[in-house]
Chain A
Amino acid sequence: MNEERKGLKEKITNSDIWRSIFRHGYENTGRRYTLQILQNVWLHLHPPRISRHALNFRFTWCMGGITFLMFLVTAVTGVLLMFYYRPTAEYAFADVQYLEFDIPFGMLLRNMHRWAAHGMVISVMLHMFRVFLTGSYKKPREFNWAVGVILLLVTFFLSFTGYLLPWDQLAFWAVTVGTNMARATPVLGHEGPFAPSEITQSNDVRFALLAGTIVGPSTLLRFYILHCVAVPLLASALMALHFWRVRKDGGISGPL
């Protein structure tokens, strides 16, 4: 019986189909551990080996990884939400209500998306704090710190553009308050210092952001596209760069 099973297993794992998919065996050797990382598209951003202290939770707090995990959760739940949501002033609010009350697990979906987004903001702040406390921005990681700062802004902007989409009072006024300051941009805002007389309410930076003089239907569409397409693409590109640099700068920093 056992012999038979072994024979079957061998037959399967030696078949052309199996071997075309899985490029290495599963033996307990260092060679296999290395291949496991190198030959896997999801894992190959990792180096095959790292220094032991990089495993230590007390060192990294896992916060960079948690930020990335939260991003993945929002990406998956966000795509699902997009099936039910239309970014127009007529439908947006009703669609969110419909999602909450009539779609199976719709409420849970929305909750996960929202709380993961909040979680991402928390974890990215803590990640930055830990990177500072361990002095990990020092040579040769200066540039990766700069990439990180941009990622921090991108995270805020993702969260902020998403805040408008439910199109309720909370969304509307938070975004109104949040974009009001743009009026006062020096030179480019119509209420800012040194603004030339050509800069008016309807061509300053705030107008560019809102696609109008107040938050309105065009703002909703603009924020929707930024939130669902433009900014996630930018964030993904920057994260790829960030992770690549972590590795190329010699892995997680440590005392050497």
Chain B
Amino acid sequence: MEHFIALVTKPDNVPIVAILFLIPYFIWLSYRQARQTDKAGVPSDAHLNDKVYVWPYLCRNEFVCAIIVMLVLGVWSIMIDAPLEEPSDPTKTPNPSKAPWYFLALQEMLVYFDPWIAGVVLPGLIVAGLIAIPYIDTNPKGKGYYTIKERPFALAVFSFGFIVLWIVLMVVGTFLRGPGWNFFAPWEAWDPHLVVPLTNVNLSYLFGIRDANTANFFGFVVVAGYFALGPIVYLWKHKTSDFLQELGLVRYIIVSFLFLTMLSLPIKMILRIFFKVQYIWVSPWFNI
């Protein structure tokens, strides 16, 4: 418990404690507005879109907002001192050594994937996927107001990625990871000598495959099947739907690839945690 409290009260972790309150607040705020829209219909342009002068109306708001934020920042800066530890020493490795909090979701991914995926390929795809969003979301509705009814799929995917895969993993990495990057519940004491037996096996092994070449082929089939099968079946069943017609083949392939890539993280987490799976595909060049 004292380790957990030490983490929560660490000056550099104040932001993430703040996030724990801010995110639910803003989810609630937007959910309420979305429900209102979905019940009463899209707010009409009638009075919402009439024009007001920026000076004084907007500038006044900006000014008040700036004052409030500066007050909060001022109080925060007076109350809590920025940390300064001992001088850096390359020979003294702290355990655990953690990146700054906003990178801990990435560091958390390292548990489940090799560094080249978790540290390079997935972050690259996240950025590419984020930039691609406006170009692959062809739904013209729900622009400029909160709604759930008009874009449930887009909202579900993004919120899952943002809240679960980013915020929650960040919180786990910050508060629940101890020495050796082992998981410690808040009430558990950190045991720096804790040795977790490495009993993980590869997926091919679970299926009774012992030969390396077969295992390589098996892994390839599983990964390729994962990315191809679902999208092909869905395409075949719904090829005449308005949604797919609007989307087009290229966009459809990109959407399904990005979507399945995102889902691969929770899938790998489940496989690791409940089935002790180390790798899905072991090849001579890389492991996934």
Residues of A with Cβ closer than 8 Å to B? 30, 33-34, 36-37, 43, 46-55, 57-59, 61-62, 65-66, 69-70, 73, 93, 96-97, 100, 107-108, 110-116, 118-119, 121-122, 125-126, 129-130, 132-139, 141-142, 145-146, 149, 152-153, 156, 159-160, 163, 166-174, 176-178, 180-186, 189, 191-194, 214-216, 252-256
Contact = CB atoms under 8 A, between A and B. Distances in A.
Given A52-B48, A139-B140, A114 B82 contact: yes
A81 B118 CA distance: 35
Contacts of A189: 116, 120
B89 A156 contact: no
Interface of B: 12, 14-15, 18-19, 22-23, 26, 29-30, 33-34, 42-45, 47-59, 61-62, 65-66, 69-70, 73-74, 76-78, 80-90, 92-94, 97-100, 102-103, 106-107, 110, 114-116, 118-121, 127, 130-131, 133-135, 137, 139-147, 151, 154-155, 158, 162, 285-286
A52 B47 contact: yes
B102 A141 contact: no
A156 to B, nearest CB: 6
A181 B97 contact: no
A111 B81 contact: yes
A41 to B, nearest CB: 14
B131 A112 contact: no
B48 A254 contact: yes
Given A122-B15, A136-B144, A184 B155 contact: no
A153 B90 CA distance: 28
Contacts of A125: 19, 102
Given A185-B120, A256-B49, A146 B134 contact: yes
Contacts of A185: 116, 119-120
A228 B196 CA distance: 43
A97 B133 contact: no
Contact of B42 (A146, A183, A255): A255
The main secondary structure of chain A at its interface with chain B is helix
A214 B93 CA distance: 13
Nearest to B167: A125
A115 B97 contact: no
24 contacts: A33-B54, A43-B59, A50-B52, A55-B52, A57-B65, A61-B29, A111-B76, A112-B74, A132-B162, A133-B146, A135-B144, A135-B151, A160-B100, A169-B85, A169-B89, A173-B94, A181-B118, A183-B115, A185-B116, A186-B116, A191-B115, A254-B48, A255-B42, A255-B44
Given A50-B52, A184-B114, 19 more contacts: A49-B52, A50-B58, A62-B61, A107-B81, A119-B69, A126-B22, A129-B26, A133-B146, A138-B137, A149-B130, A152-B130, A169-B89, A170-B84, A172-B88, A173-B97, A174-B98, A174-B100, A180-B115, A184-B116
A145 B131 contact: yes
A96 B84 CA distance: 8
Contacts of A138: 134, 137, 139-140, 142-143
